[in-house]
Amino acid sequence: MNRRVVILNELAQGIRPLAAGVGWFEELTDTEQFEVVRDLAGFCIQARATSEDGPESIRRAGIRPTHTPAVLVTRGRLTEQLPKIINLPPDERVKAFRLLVALLGVADDRRRRRFCADGCGHAWHHLRTGAGTETATT
């Protein structure tokens, strides 16, 4: 896993505080911020996030339910809503970032309980132990 993937998974799992993640995200260029939001959306799809995960994700993200990314995530089919979130204007990106980190956390928590409770080979599920992070700095 590259450094960015490790950071995003640590944020989603609560290993790294969201406030630190927001600070990191704000230091990125516009292009890098877009890439991070795009990557997060892809991770959410991989983790099988649903629009039903929206309310808990909004709560965890600490954004208002009326903020544009929050409205979109609860509006229905995520495969249709995530591209809209990815393409929000730059002034909405921090809210989108916070929400997608939380959405990934909610979906991955569920996935881990259902499919990985007895162990798995997903490197991102072993970040607390340090396994799978050896390539994080390359």
Could you report the per-residue pLDDT of 19-42, keeping only the tens digit for each? Answer: 999 999 999 999 999 999 999 999
CA 45 – CA 33 distance, rounded (Å): 19
Domain span at residue 23 reads 3-126
Let me know if residue 132 belongs to a domain: no
Q: In the chain, how many domains are there?
A: 1
Task: Say yes or no to pLDDT of 125 above 90.
Answer: no
Task: Say yes or no to pLDDT of 138 above 50.
Answer: no
Q: Given this model, what pLDDT does residue 135 score?
A: 36
Residues 6+ apart with CB under 8 A from 7: 16, 21, 24
Let me know if residue 131 belongs to a domain: no
Let me know if residue 136 belongs to a domain: no
Let me know if residue 108 belongs to a domain: yes
Let me know if residue 18 belongs to a domain: yes
What does pTM read for this prediction? 0.83
